[in-house]
Structure 1
Amino acid sequence: MTSSHDKPADVFAALKHLRAEKLAIPDEAQFPKTAMDRLTAAGVLQAPLPRAYGGQGLGTEPGLGLETLSLLHGLGRISLPLGRLVEAHVNALRIVARYGDAAHMTKAADGVLAGSLFGLWVTDPSGQGELNIHAQGDALRLTGGKMFCSGAGHAGWAVVTAFDPGCADQRLLLLRMDGSEQVSPLPAGLSGMKAAVTGQVDFTGKHVARNDIIGLAGDYLKEPDFSAGAWRSSAVALGGLFRLAELLRDQLKARSRADDPHQRARFGQIVMAHETGRLWLRHAAVMAEKLEAPPEEIIATVGFARLAVERVCLDGIELVQRSLGLGSFLTDNPVESLMRDLQTYLRQPAADEVLHNAAGYFLSHAFCAKENNDADV
Structure 2
Amino acid sequence: MLNLDEKAVKNNLSTFQIDIKNLFDAWKSAASIPAENAFPIDMLNALREIGALNALLSHEEGGLDLCRTSEGGRVLLTLLRRTGYASLSLGRCLEGHVNVIRLVELYGTPEQRCKLAQSLQRGILAGIWVTDGIPPVTIEHERRHYRLAGIKGFASGVAHVRLALITATTHQGHSIMALAPTDGAERRLLGPGKLMGMQSSGTGGYDFTDVVISPDNILGSAGDYLRQPEFSAGAWRGSAVALGGMDRLIDLLRQELLDRGRANNPHQLHRIGEALTLQKTASMWVKEAAKVAYASNMEPESVVATVNLARIAVERAALELITLVQRSLGVSAFVKGKAVELVMRDLMTYLRQPAPDEALTEAAMWFVNHDWPGEDA
TM-score for the superposition, normalised by structure 2 = 0.92
Cα distance, 1:156–1:271 mapped onto 2, change above 3 Å: same
AA at the equivalent of 1:158 = A
Select 1:51's aligned residue among 43, 56, 59. Answer: 59
Structure 1 segment 259-274 matched on structure 2, within 5 A:
259-274=264-279
Instruction: Show the counterpart of 2:162.
Output: 156
| Cα distance per residue 1:281-336 (max 9 Å; x no partner) | 11111101224211111111001100000010000000000110000011242000
SS at match of 2:128: strand
Change (3 A) 1:26 1:239: closer
Amino acid at match of 2:370: H
Verify: 1:65 aligned to 2:73, yes or no.
Answer: yes
Give per-residue Cα distances to partners, 1:200-227, cap 9 Å, x unaligned: 1110011111110011111111100001
The amino acid that maps onto 1:114 is R
Residue of 29, 40, 43 corresponding to 1:35? 43
Q: By how many angstroms is 1:141 displaced?
A: 1.0
- Give the residue type in structure 2 aligned to 1:129: P
Q: CA deviation at 1:236?
A: 0.3
Greater shift in the superposed pair: 153-162 or 61-70 = 61-70
Map of 1:135 onto structure 2: 141
Partner letter of residue 258 of structure 2?
A: K
2:249 to 244, 247, 251: 244
Q: Please identify, of 49-58 and 189-198, the stretch whose mean Cα deviation from structure 2 is larger.
A: 49-58
- Would the alpha carbon gap of residues 180 and 137 (structure 1) be closer, same or farther in structure 2, given more than 3 Å must change? farther
Over aligned residues, Cα RMSD in angstroms?
A: 2.1
SS at match of 2:240: helix
SS of the residue corresponding to residue 45 of structure 1 reads helix
Does residue 1:288 correspond to 2:296, yes or no?
A: no
Once the two structures are TM-superposed, the CA of residue 54 in structure 1 deviates from its matched residue by 1.6
Identity within the alignment, %: 41
The aligned counterpart of 1:122 is: 130
Aligned residues: 364
Structure 1 residue 231 and structure 2 residue 239: aligned? no
2:218 matched to which residue of 1?
Answer: 213
**Whole-Å Cα distance in 2 between the matches of residues 52 and 23 of structure 1?**
37
Pick from 317, 321, 324 the counterpart of residue 319 of structure 1. Answer: 324
Q: Counterparts of 1:66-85 in structure 2 under 5 Å? A: 66-85=74-93
Equivalent in the alignment of 1:3: none
- The separation in 2 between residues aligned to 1:252 and 1:23, in whole angstroms, is 16
The answer to whether the Cα contact below 8 Å between 1:81 and 1:193 also exists between their aligned partners in 2 is yes
| Alpha-carbon distance in structure 2 between the residues aligned to 1:62 and 1:132 | 37
> What are structure 2's unaligned runs of at least 5 residues?
1-10
Query: Matched residues in 1 for 2:322 and 2:68: separation?
Result: 32
**Cα separation, 1, equivalents of 2:34 and 2:43:** 9
Could you tell me which amino acid in structure 1 is paired with residue 167 of structure 2? T
What residue number does 1:329 align with? Answer: 334
Q: Distance in 1 between matches of 2:280 and 2:266?
A: 21
Distance 2:130 2:297 in 1: 27
* Pairing 1:194-213 to 2, within 5 Å after superposition: 194-213=199-218
SS at match of 1:277: helix
**Higher-helix-fraction structure:** 2
Match of 1:279 in 2: 284
Distance 2:203 2:347 in 1: 15
Deviations 1:226-272 (A, max 9, x none): 01111110110011001100011111100001110111110110100
Q: Could you tell me whether the CA contact under 8 Å between 1:63 and 1:289 is conserved in 2?
A: no
What's the CA shift string for 1:35-86, capped at 9, x where partnerless?
2111111222122111211211212445533222111111111111111110
> In the alignment, is the contact (CA less than 8 A) between 2:33 and 2:339 conserved in 1?
no
8 Å contact kept, 2:85–2:247? yes
Aligned residue in 2 for 1:361: 366
Distance 1:261 1:317, change over 3 A: same
Q: CA–CA distance in 2 between the matches of 1:299 and 1:119? A: 23
Q: 2:345 aligns with which of 340, 343, 350?
A: 340
| Preserved CA contact (<8 Å) 2:243 2:283 | yes
Paired amino acid for 2:328? S
Quote the Cα distance in structure 2 between the aligned partners of 1:209 and 1:346: 36
1:106 aligns with 2:111: no
**What one-letter code is carried by the residue in structure 1 that aligns with 2:110?**
A
Equivalent pair of 2:12/2:64 in contact (CA under 8 Å): no
The answer as to whether partners of 2:70 and 2:291 remain within 8 angstroms in 1 is no
Contact 1:131 1:163 in 2 (8 A): yes
